[in-house]
């Protein structure tokens, strides 16, 4: 067995960022910027009002109430025509530009209007409720540095700045195939010995959740030629391929046999539980992750190796999920076996701390318990930990 650090270093060394591409902002959610984004415009582009109300000269409000002549109404999207002179005001709507002469806004709730005259019932400071030009972003500012993962908010800012295209690392196309003669996926009657394919749906969904582009390569029988064809095609069509099953020591583990022949693979037995076996290598330069078949093992292996490697290929600066410190809400027992254990737990926030509780059913075939958990507790080799002890936690989402 090798330490997880060695396995991860081997994977990460071979998962390098793809060349940057020009991406439409509409397609950029979850991608990583490949350039510094600099503002070519200011935000807001002009001084405007944060409130519906009246644009006034603050010096006119020395004593209140005061009556002012209303010279016009300014709607958002329209330019003021009149300037505001002494004793005057303009009715103004949120987002509309501030008229010349005015230096403050009085919110409509503090006014009463009668024909062409408004009575102002509150004194306000100069600049009240005015959002100056460039308040949020000034032209020339570095808005987001290279390596920023684009969230909904970032995309909104790009739109605010009028940017329709941006240089990003390309969204990775990641193929997923299941292998095994026992697997069916048609929802029909199960023949003796058959089970339903769950890994493919799980892995495709994990990929979507992590902003990769999942590609379904199907369910492949334990047949050497079928596996070779599927792998060759997948490696050609995709930026990376994930297989599950067929990488253990079984007699019909053809994935291993085929990858040995057509790929440049390393077979690893990693000192972790679950997910001890991992095949990783390349076919014609395309990274291939041969994950174990047991459903929980395949998910944990995805989390620890595939997700990190793929995120590195997609330009993430911190591709590996950092552990946070949590507290065991109950004892998490285990036996000494030379491995790090990743225990399925439910993590909850209690009094400012992350407290974790084990879920029942820690077998690597027990997918339902994985689905019920939201985190993995990292238990170093040894006898586990007592309730109240601190431990590392990987929050899955």
Binding site for ligand AMP (CB under 6 A): 178, 180, 182-183, 195, 197-200, 244-248, 250, 292-295
In the numeric block, which tokens belong to residue 297?
């093992």
Please count the other Cβ atoms lying within 10 Å of the Cβ belonging to residue 90. Answer: 28
Compare residues 204 and 238 and give the one whose CB is closer to ligand AMP.
Answer: 204
Q: Which of ligand AMP, Mg ion, none binds 199 (CB below 5-8 Å, type-dependent)?
A: ligand AMP
Q: Which residues contact 114 (CB under 8 A, 6 or more apart)?
A: none
**Residues 119/106, Cβ–Cβ less than 8 Å:** no
Binding residues among 137-166 for Mg ion as defined by CB under 5 A: none
Query: Quick one: what does residue 195 bind among ligand AMP, Mg ion, none, with the CB cut-off 5 to 8 Å set by partner type?
Result: ligand AMP
Reduced to 3 states (helix: H, G, I; strand: E, B; else coil), residue 137 is strand
Structure tokens at 239: 């930026």
Q: Is 222 helix (H, G, I), strand (E, B) or coil?
A: coil
- From 203-211, 213-221, 234-242, 246-254, span contacting Mg ion (CB under 5 A): 246-254
Q: Measured from the CB atom, is 89 or 183 closer to ligand AMP?
A: 183
| d(C-alpha 390, C-alpha 353), whole Å | 10
Work out whether 263 is an interface residue with Mg ion (CB under 5 A): no
> What gap in Å lies between CA 175 and CA 67, rounded to an integer?
71
The SS3 call for residue 253 is: coil
Q: Which is closer to ligand AMP, CB of 103 or CB of 197?
A: 197
- Torsion angle defined by CA atoms of residues 324, 329, 332 and 338, in that order, rounded to the nearest 10 degrees: 20
Assess 245 for contact with Mg ion (CB under 5 A). yes
| 315: contact with Mg ion by CB under 5 A | no
Burial of 273 per CB tally in 10 Å (0-12, 13-18, 19+): buried
Question: Could you tell me which residues come within 8 angstroms of residue 395 by beta carbon, excluding any fewer than 6 positions away?
Answer: 321, 324, 347, 354, 374, 375
Return the C-alpha torsion angle 268, 273, 275, 280, nearest 10: -30
Rounded to 5°, angle at Cα 333 from 206 and 397: 20
Q: Which is nearer to ligand AMP, 123 or 198 (CB)?
A: 198
Residue closer to ligand AMP by CB (options 78, 196) is 196
Query: Whose CB is nearest to ligand AMP?
Result: 293
Closer of 164 and 205 to ligand AMP (Cβ): 205
324 φ, ψ (degrees, to nearest 5): -110, 165
Number of residues near Mg ion (by CB under 5 A):
4
- Which residue number, 43 or 247, has a Cβ lying nearer to ligand AMP? 247
Cβ distance 344 to 362 under 8 Å?
yes
Q: Nearest approach, Cβ of 369 to Mg ion (angstroms)?
A: 22
Minimum CB–partner distance for residue 269 and Mg ion (Å): 17
Q: Which range binds Mg ion by CB under 5 A, 58-66, 132-140, 223-231, 288-296?
A: 288-296
- Coil vs helix vs strand at 360: coil
Q: How far is the CB of 369 from ligand AMP (least distance, A)?
A: 15
Tell me how far, at minimum, the Cβ of 20 lies from Mg ion, in Å.
Answer: 39
- What sections of 210-355 are H helices per DSSP? 224-237, 254-262, 295-301, 307-313
227 contact choice in Mg ion, ligand AMP, none (CB below 5 to 8 Å, kind-dependent):
none
Q: Which is nearer to ligand AMP, 52 or 182 (CB)?
A: 182
94 binds, among ligand AMP, Mg ion, none (CB under 5 to 8 A by kind): none
CB of 359 to ligand AMP, least distance (A): 19
The DSSP H or E segment spanning 328 is: strand 324-328
Partner in contact with 183, chosen from ligand AMP, Mg ion, none, beta carbon below 5 to 8 Å by kind: ligand AMP
- Candidates 48-56, 108-116, 175-183, 282-290: pick the segment binding Mg ion (CB under 5 A): 175-183
Q: Which is nearer to ligand AMP, 103 or 222 (CB)?
A: 222
Q: Choose between 197 and 228: whose C-beta lies nearer to ligand AMP.
A: 197
58 binds, among ligand AMP, Mg ion, none (CB under 5 to 8 A by kind): none
- For Mg ion, which residue of 17, 30, 134, 180 counts as binding (CB under 5 A)? 180
Apex 165 CA angle, 42 and 235, nearest 5: 150
Can you give the binding site for Mg ion, defined by CB under 5 A? 180, 245-246, 293
């Amino acid at each position: 067995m090798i330490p997880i650090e060695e396995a991860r270093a081997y994977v990460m060394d071979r998962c390098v960022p793809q060349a940057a591409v020009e991406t439409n902002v509409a397609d950029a959610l979850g991608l990583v910027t490949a350039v510094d984004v600099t503002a070519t415009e200011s935000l807001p582009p002009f001084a405007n009002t944060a409130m519906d109300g009246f644009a006034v000269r603050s010096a006119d409000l020395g004593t209140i109430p005061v009556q002012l002549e209303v010279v016009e109404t300014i709607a958002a999207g329209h330019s003021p025509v009149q300037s505001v002179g002494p004793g005057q005001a303009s009715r103004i709507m949120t987002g509309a530009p501030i008229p010349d002469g005015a230096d403050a806004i009085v919110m409509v709730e503090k006014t009463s209007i009668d024909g062409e005259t408004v009575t102002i019932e509150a004194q306000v400071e100069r600049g009240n409720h005015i959002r100056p030009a460039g308040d949020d972003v000034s032209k020339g500012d570095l808005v987001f540095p290279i390596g920023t993962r684009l969230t909904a908010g970032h995309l909104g800012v790009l739109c605010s700045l009028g940017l329709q295209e941006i240089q990003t690392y390309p969204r990775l196309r990641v193929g997923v195939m299941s292998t095994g003669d026992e697997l069916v996926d048609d929802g029909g009657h199960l023949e003796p010995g058959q089970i339903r394919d769950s890994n493919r749906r799980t892995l495709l969904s994990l990929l979507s959740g992590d902003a990769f582009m999942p590609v379904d390569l199907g369910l492949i029988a334990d047949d050497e030629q079928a596996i070779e064809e599927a792998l060759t095609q997948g490696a050609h069509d995709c930026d990376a391929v994930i297989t599950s099953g067929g990488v253990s020591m079984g007699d019909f583990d053809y994935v291993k046999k085929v990858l040995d022949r057509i790929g440049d693979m390393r077979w690893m037995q990693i000192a972790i539980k679950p997910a001890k076996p991992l095949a990783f290598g390349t076919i014609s330069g395309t990274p291939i992750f041969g994950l174990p078949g047991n459903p929980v093992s395949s998910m944990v292996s995805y989390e620890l190796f595939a997700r990190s490697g793929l995120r590195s290929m997609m330009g993430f600066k911190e591709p590996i999920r950092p552990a946070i410190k949590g507290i065991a809400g109950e004892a998490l027992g285990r036996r000494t076996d030379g491995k790090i254990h990743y225990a399925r737990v439910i993590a909850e926030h209690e009094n400012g701390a992350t407290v974790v509780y084990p879920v029942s059913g820690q077998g690597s075939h027990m997918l339902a318990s994985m689905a019920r958990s939201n985190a993995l507790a990292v238990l170093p080799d040894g006898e586990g930990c007592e309730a109240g002890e601190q431990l590392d936690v990987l929050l899955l989402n």
